[in-house]
């Protein structure tokens, strides 16, 4: 029997709970599996945790950014349809952000929406993607450009899943953790800097604190602005440049690593345009380099890179919107940035 140390109840809406603990998932999974439960499971997670995995109504999904597509959506819809999933069916998503985003989109659209729960298994999905109800897929090369907001009924975060993450996947999640510090909480950023060795050693006490703190911040932001009309958009800090990096590199740079570089470059851009103070740039650089993140990116194909930025869903006819951190621990949206301004910035770095 594992332990549950946090229950963030009804943080986001009336039906939404986040349970954080360790070692409790085997029992939770045993309690699932009635005739109307369907499971979409990351294939690697299924293999690593085969002893606790469900045996029936399981769709094994190969989580890969190239697979975050409408073809995958159709395949999972077909799985539900063939399994005679009805409107009272429930989709249980076990995996990282890709599984959660695709599966959440399927659940939100199958029969105009069935309920779903998220069981995130990567650091990134625990601190970010599983909470808040953004679901979606990449479409025609544009990141997350098709999707809906749909809240899961419950998010179950079992820290034990982190034990099997590779160092690279673990660090991928750390980037999103740093983002919370830059946008919302300067002290939290310093905590991450001071405790770098314990974070990287995956010290249980430190990780429990980090995941709980990030989920708390995310839940609060989503409570205020579920559909990303303002406040929530600040969590896109680093993401406009990051999505261009992911697309230009054909996803060889993973989401978190792209966000890390994006946070640095967007802050550098902001400082050069007098939108952020130099201390913010110093701070993000200091923390990212302490963790070993790359803060530079060599564009491979300018058309693809800048094309991805203009196709970004944060862009409109008047230009790009950047979520920046003008001062460490704060965030701000800057609208109507012309792509030409961004092109000249990249010509100079």
Ligand X SMILES: NC(=O)c1ccc[n+]([C@@H]2O[C@H](COP(=O)([O-])OP(=O)(O)OC[C@H]3O[C@@H](n4cnc5c(N)ncnc54)[C@H](O)[C@@H]3O)[C@@H](O)[C@H]2O)c1
The alpha carbon of 334 is separated from its chain's Cα centroid by a whole number of angstroms, namely 22
Interaction of residue 134 with ligand X, rule CB under 6 A: yes
Catalytic residue among 134, 143, 154, 179: 134
The alpha carbon of 38 is separated from its chain's Cα centroid by a whole number of angstroms, namely 23
Distance CA 165, CA 168 (A): 8
> Is 232 noted as a catalytic residue in this protein?
yes
Catalytic residue among 57, 179, 213, 218: 218
Interaction of residue 121 with ligand X, rule CB under 6 A: yes
Report the residue from 144, 212, 261, 325 that binds ligand X according to the rule CB under 6 A: 144
Q: Which is nearer to ligand X, 253 or 320 (CB)?
A: 253
Task: Choose the stretch contacting ligand X; rule: CB under 6 A; options: 27-35, 161-169, 182-190, 295-303.
Answer: 161-169
Catalytic residue among 68, 90, 138, 176: 176
Report the residue from 12, 16, 46, 68 that binds ligand X according to the rule CB under 6 A: 68
Q: DSSP assignment, residue 274? A: T
Q: How many other C-beta atoms are found inside a 10 Å radius of the C-beta of residue 9? A: 10
Q: Which is nearer to ligand X, 221 or 288 (CB)?
A: 221
Interaction of residue 125 with ligand X, rule CB under 6 A: yes
Please report the DSSP string for 205-274 in residue order: HHHHHHHHHHHHHHHHHHHH-TT-SSGGGGGGTTHHHHHHHHHHTTTSS-HHHHHHHHHHHHHHHHHHTT
> Is 296 noted as a catalytic residue in this protein?
no
Catalytic residue among 236, 246, 254, 266: 236
Q: Whose CB is nearest to ligand X?
A: 97
Catalytic residue among 138, 243, 246, 254: 243
Burial of 313 (0-12, 13-18, 19+ CB in 10 A): middle
Q: How many other C-beta atoms are found inside a 10 Å radius of the C-beta of residue 231? A: 15
Residues composing the chain = 349
Report the residue from 128, 158, 248, 283 that binds ligand X according to the rule CB under 6 A: 128
The tokens describing 35, both together, are 């005739």
Report the residue from 13, 84, 86, 164 that binds ligand X according to the rule CB under 6 A: 164
Interaction of residue 72 with ligand X, rule CB under 6 A: no
Percent of the chain that is helix, strand, coil (3-state, to 5): 50, 20, 30
Largest Cα separation within the chain, whole Å, is: 59
Q: What are the CA-CA distances from residue 216 to residues 151, 226, 242, 344 (Å)?
A: 16, 14, 24, 38
Q: Which is nearer to ligand X, 103 or 281 (CB)?
A: 103
**Chain contacts with ligand X (rule: CB under 6 A):** 42, 44-45, 48, 63, 65, 68, 95-99, 101, 121-122, 124-125, 128-129, 132, 134, 144, 161, 164-165, 169, 172, 255
Catalytic residues, by residue number, are 112, 134, 176, 218, 228, 232, 236, 239, 243, 255
């Amino acid at each position: 029997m594992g332990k549950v140390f946090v229950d963030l109840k009804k943080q986001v809406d009336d039906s939404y709970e986040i349970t954080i603990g360790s070692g409790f998932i085997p029992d939770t999974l045993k309690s699932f599996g009635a005739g109307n439960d369907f499971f979409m499971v990351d294939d690697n997670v299924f293999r690593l945790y085969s002893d606790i995995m469900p045996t029936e109504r399981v769709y094994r999904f190969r989580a890969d950014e190239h697979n975050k597509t409408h073809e995958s959506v159709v395949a999972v819809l077909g799985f539900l349809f063939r399994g005679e999933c009805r409107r009272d069916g429930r989709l249980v998503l076990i995996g990282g952000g890709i599984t959660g985003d695709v599966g959440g989109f399927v659940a939100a659209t199958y029969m105009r929406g069935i309920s779903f729960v998220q069981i995130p298994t990567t650091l990134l999905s625990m601190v970010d993607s599983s909470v808040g109800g953004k679901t979606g897929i990449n479409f025609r090369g544009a990141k997350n450009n098709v999707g809906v907001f749909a809240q899961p009924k419950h998010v179950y975060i079992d820290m034990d899943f982190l034990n099997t993450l590779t160092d690279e996947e673990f660090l991928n999640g750390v980037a999103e953790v740093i983002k919370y510090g830059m946008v919302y909480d300067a002290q939290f950023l310093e905590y991450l800097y001071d405790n770098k060795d314990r974070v990287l050693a995956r010290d249980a006490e430190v990780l429990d604190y980090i995941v709980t703190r990030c989920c708390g911040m995310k839940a609060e932001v989503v409570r205020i602005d579920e559909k990303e009309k303002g406040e929530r958009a600040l969590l896109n800090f680093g993401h406009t440049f990051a999505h261009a990096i992911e697309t230009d590199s054909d996803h060889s740079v993973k989401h978190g690593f792209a966000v890390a570089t994006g946070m640095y470059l967007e802050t550098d851009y902001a400082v050069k345009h007098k939108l952020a103070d130099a201390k913010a740039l110093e701070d993000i650089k200091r923390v990212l380099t302490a963790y070993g993140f790359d803060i530079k990116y060599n564009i491979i194909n300018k058309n693809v890179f800048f094309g991805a930025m203009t196709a970004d869903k944060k862009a409109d006819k008047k230009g790009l919107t950047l979520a920046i951190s003008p001062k460490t621990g704060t965030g701000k949206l800057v609208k109507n940035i012309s792509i030409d301004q961004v092109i000249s910035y990249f010509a100079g770095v």
